[in-house]
Amino acid sequence: MALFSKISDIIQKKPKEIPLISIIIPVYNTTKDDIKEAFDSLLNQTIGFEKLEIIFVNDKSTKTSGVDLIKEYKNKYSNVLLFNNKQKKYDGPTRNNGLKHATGKYVMFLDDDDKYLSNACEFLYNIIEAEDVDVVNGNYIDTYTNKKVNWENQNIIHYKTKIRTIDENPNLLGISPYLCTKIYRRSFLIENNLEFEEGLKISSDKIFNFKILFKANGIIFVNEPIVIYNRDTTNGFSKSLDYSYDKLKILIKVYTYCYELFKKELPEACHILLDDVNYITKYVLNTTLDRDEFKNFVEDLHVFFKEYVSNNKTRKNHKYHKIIKHIANNDYTNAYYEYIDFRNEKLIFKTNPIEKPRKDIYSKDFDDILVSVIIPVYNGERYLNSCLNSIHDQSLKNMEIICIDDNSTDNSLNILKQHSKIDKRMRVIHIKENHGVSATRNIGIKYAKGKYLTFVDCDDWLDSMALDTATKISQENNLDIFFFNRTLYTKKESKIENKNDTIYDYLKEYENKLIKNTNIDLSVLFKNYSSATGKLYLTSFIQNNSIRFNPRRTYCDNLFSIITFLKAKNVKITVNSYYNQRIHEKTYDACRDNTMCDNISMLKDMLNIFRQVTPLYEAYHEKFYNYMMDILRKTLYKIDSQYMLEYFKSTQEFIGECIGKNHLDKDIIQSLNKNNLLYYTYIKESIDKPDKSRITIPISIVIYARNMLEKEIFEVIHNIAEQTFEFPLLRLVFIDNNSKITDTMNIKKYSKIFPNIEYIRTNRDYDETQLYNIIPNYITTPYVMFLNPELFYVNTAIKNMFRSIRKDNMNMISGIVEKSDTIYNTLLWTKLFKTKYLDDNVNFYEDKNHMINVEYNINDKKGIINTNIPIIKSE
């Protein structure tokens, strides 16, 4: 009976259907969990799992848990196949093995630790089937950022782009070669003999991708995420990518091959590949190479680098420009010096995690403590050992070390405990809730037993003679405060630069003199003289005057420093440096966030202090008000764009109080210099909104505002506010005719707050070019510029253009794109016009690249000049 049943099954069995898509997955030592996640994403495809052919290719795995799970899937599902390489071949040849066994109409690839979104296969299949193309490219979600990858770096701003051949839009060659976002017509691969290069451990997908794009007849790029890319990174590279000379040699081979391919297939697009010089340089700087290895690298790729430097279309990276230039010149020696400098820099800015506190620490207790060293600590594990070791190494031994851990979430507390076990002078206080540096320093002051106290941040360090020298000078002169200079360790052009803090330039004339607040020009208080570190304080002076840090999170040092200086009877200053301060890359970004609004509270406190002492106010109110307006003005231009509106509203409230509640308008106006008076007038007009402005604005900047997101709006405003040309002297005109109501409301919100921002909505349905052609009807300023919201001005652009056009009394002046020698004679965004001339003699038109260009009246080209003034940022 069983035999007849089997025969019946064979007779009734239908011919095997050709799968819609073959999905090829190379496997090497993949964990069981990763295989399960990848496979589950295939099971859940909306196109139907049964319509897929799943091809796993095992590349001689030495760990079998993942492969064992694949075998279970193979036994359970008839459309799951498993093939084994006879020897280790790496991803490229492993995918070739999968291609040989594929039978689907289309082919996709998936890495064994990534996973498709549920509609990935159906989405790509529907497009390639309907559009009759050879390849469709999607986007991906990067787990490192948890965001869809930004394609705007390649000027891809449309959701969907279709081309017949790649020479129609070479910029698309810059899209990531990541294979798992793509679907290919299998017959196209077979007919063109398209396979992965053999013998490459890395980057075979880059060559394969370029060969595909150069051969394809029908290509679509669609900005829709297809796959979740599990990128675990260090230094911007995948952790699976080790930085070895062997891998570097393969990278050289890959780029040499790709460059020859570009020169053969599409030489005018070589700049797109050449831009990868920045990636290669970053890779090299993260790889440990000896002299001969580095020399070989320079010799192998110096021509590629030379082409990058000489090509006007490449994106120049200022961070690496020195080493790139040396490599391009085949100057191995200087290139190697730059390489070594960079490697040494990493040693300064990265404490060895294996470093332990030394065992030769002084272990004696003292009854009469001379100095209390107060160290607030929050998540400082990276540099904490070096900080503490610098305190242990002090030639002065009679001290206590008070470390306050502000509820760190890293290993800081354990490091502190480890040090305290071998140094009896050290006391560790742990706070269970994070309160900020002000509160932790106040706790240190409370428990300080030393005759003097000093503050050290947990990522900085002291010279070994710092405390010994400072206490001797303080005792000899009966000082309340002793100031010593700082050395800043800061990154500039990827190189460590140490320099004395310029703050003390203001005080050189007072060096080695005994200073009292009655014999010094107190205007030094308004010259960034703020840090609480780098000073030795008499503890009784601090405690008897009840001086503490304000509990606000930022700008706490400013007020503390001013109060201590005003109350101190004896102060001495040295320009000698004993304090070493690290300035991190993130420091600048951190000081741009909404905590900058705290500086307004600090200014209020300072103003109250000065107004309470009449002689002090009368002597220094002019200097203070300029200091105040400098901070308000420069903060608006410096703060991150998303916080501009919040900060300006807070500024309005503060100035409103000064004028209304405190009646200080007259004093402020009489005190201010030209730029500060302009900004003060601007703020007043934003508050009282007079019918006629007291500010004469010379330039309007026109921005096409259709469907602008709020983020894009404040980025444009911020870019213009950062100009060296004063922001109140610029009118920002956002113009459109068909935006969504929500986008319109976003712009109107800014125009209601900032008096120089205007929103114009036309009644007729104009396109962008037509809007620009009618713009003179809406402009009241004598000059006008135009800005594409996706581009950004160089900070000096407007000032330099305005100066030139007025100096020579020109009708129109044209500049260039930054770091480019090309003068764009017709490109709209690089020009400044006289408004009258614009109305009568200029017409705008759109070119094939969707860029707005300028056409002049042939009868009136007088007063037109092309310059090399940088206008638009290149990156």
Q: What is the pLDDT of residue 847?
A: 57
Nearest by Cα to 839 from 782, 763, 789, 797: 782
pLDDT tens sequence across 402-441: 999 999 998 899 999 989 988 889 999 998 888 888 889 9
Average pLDDT value for residue range 63-79: 92
Q: Which of 140, 113, 134 is nearest to 41 (CA)?
A: 113
pLDDT exceeds 60 at position 5: no
Percent of the residues in the chain that have a pLDDT greater than 90, as a whole number: 39
Q: Which long-range contacts (CB under 8 A, 24 or more apart) does 588-595 make?
A: 589/640, 591/554, 592/638, 592/639, 592/640, 592/643, 593/639, 593/640, 593/643, 594/639, 594/640, 594/643, 594/646, 594/647, 595/553, 595/554
The DSSP bridge pattern shows strands 219-229 and 135-142 to be parallel
Per-residue pLDDT band at 552 (split at 50, 70, 90): low
- Comparing 61-70, 122-131, 325-334, 505-514, the range with the smallest average pLDDT is 505-514
Closest CA to 436 of 599, 555, 595, 553: 553
Quote the pLDDT of residue 152: 52
Tell me: pLDDT of 351 over 50.
no
Q: What is the pLDDT of residues 678-689, one digit of tens each?
A: 999 999 988 888
344 vs 337, 338, 347, 349, CA distance in Å? Answer: 10, 10, 5, 9
Of the listed ranges 490-499, 606-615, 744-753, the one predicted with least confidence: 490-499
Q: Looking at the predicted structure, is the pLDDT value of residue 471 above 70?
A: yes
Q: Which residue has the higher pLDDT, 77 or 2?
A: 77
β pairing state of 481-492 and 495-500: antiparallel
User: What is the predicted pLDDT for the residue at 784?
Assistant: 93
Per-residue tokens: 183: 């679907």
Contacts 24+ apart (CB under 8 A), 352-358: 355/385, 355/386, 356/385, 356/418, 357/385, 357/388, 357/389, 357/392, 357/415, 357/418, 357/419, 357/422, 357/423, 358/389, 358/392
Task: Taking residues 22-31, report their average pLDDT.
Answer: 93
pLDDT tens for residues 523-546?
666 654 578 899 999 999 999 988
Of 237 and 733, which is predicted with more confidence?
Answer: 733
Choose the most confident range, by mean pLDDT, from 305-319, 459-473, 725-739, 848-862: 459-473
DSSP bridge pairs for 162: 220
Give residue 75's pLDDT band: very low, low, confident or very high (50, 70, 90): very high
Q: How many CB atoms are located within 10 Å of the residue 299 CB?
A: 12
Amino acid at site 636: L
Over residues 7-28, the mean pLDDT reads 69
For 58, the token pair is: 């095992």
The larger pLDDT score, comparing residue 696 to residue 510, is at 696
pTM: 0.53
Minimum mean pLDDT among 216-230, 497-511, 614-628: which range?
497-511
Condensed to tens digits (0 to 9), the pLDDT of residues 812-851 reads: 898 888 876 555 556 788 889 898 887 777 776 665 555 6
Average pLDDT, the chain: 82
Query: Taking 50 as the threshold, does the pLDDT of residue 619 lie above it?
Result: yes
User: Using the 8-state DSSP alphabet, how is residue 533 labeled?
Assistant: S
Residues 564-600 have pLDDT tens digits of: 888 888 988 887 888 988 876 544 334 455 667 778 8
Res 518: pLDDT: 62
Confidence of residue 10 (pLDDT cuts 50, 70, 90): very low
Q: What is the C-alpha separation between 483 and 501, in angstroms, rounded?
A: 12
What digits encode the pLDDT tens for the residues 492-508?
533 345 555 454 566 66
pLDDT digits (tens, 9 = 90+) for 285-328: 888 777 778 888 888 888 999 999 999 888 887 778 888 998 99
Q: How many CB atoms lie within 10 A of CB 500?
A: 14
The pLDDT of 279-283, averaged and rounded, is 87
- pLDDT above 80: residue 144: no
Query: Phi, psi at residue 478, to the nearest 5°?
Result: 55, 50
Identify residue 196 by its one-letter amino acid code. Answer: F
**Within 13 Å of residue 201, how many CA atoms lie on the same side as its CB?**
14
Close Cβ partners of 637 (under 8 Å, ≥ 6 residues apart): 718, 721, 722, 727
Query: What backbone torsions phi and psi does residue 622 show, to the nearest 5 degrees?
Result: -65, -45
Which range, of 147-151, 268-272, 417-421, averages the lowest pLDDT?
A: 147-151
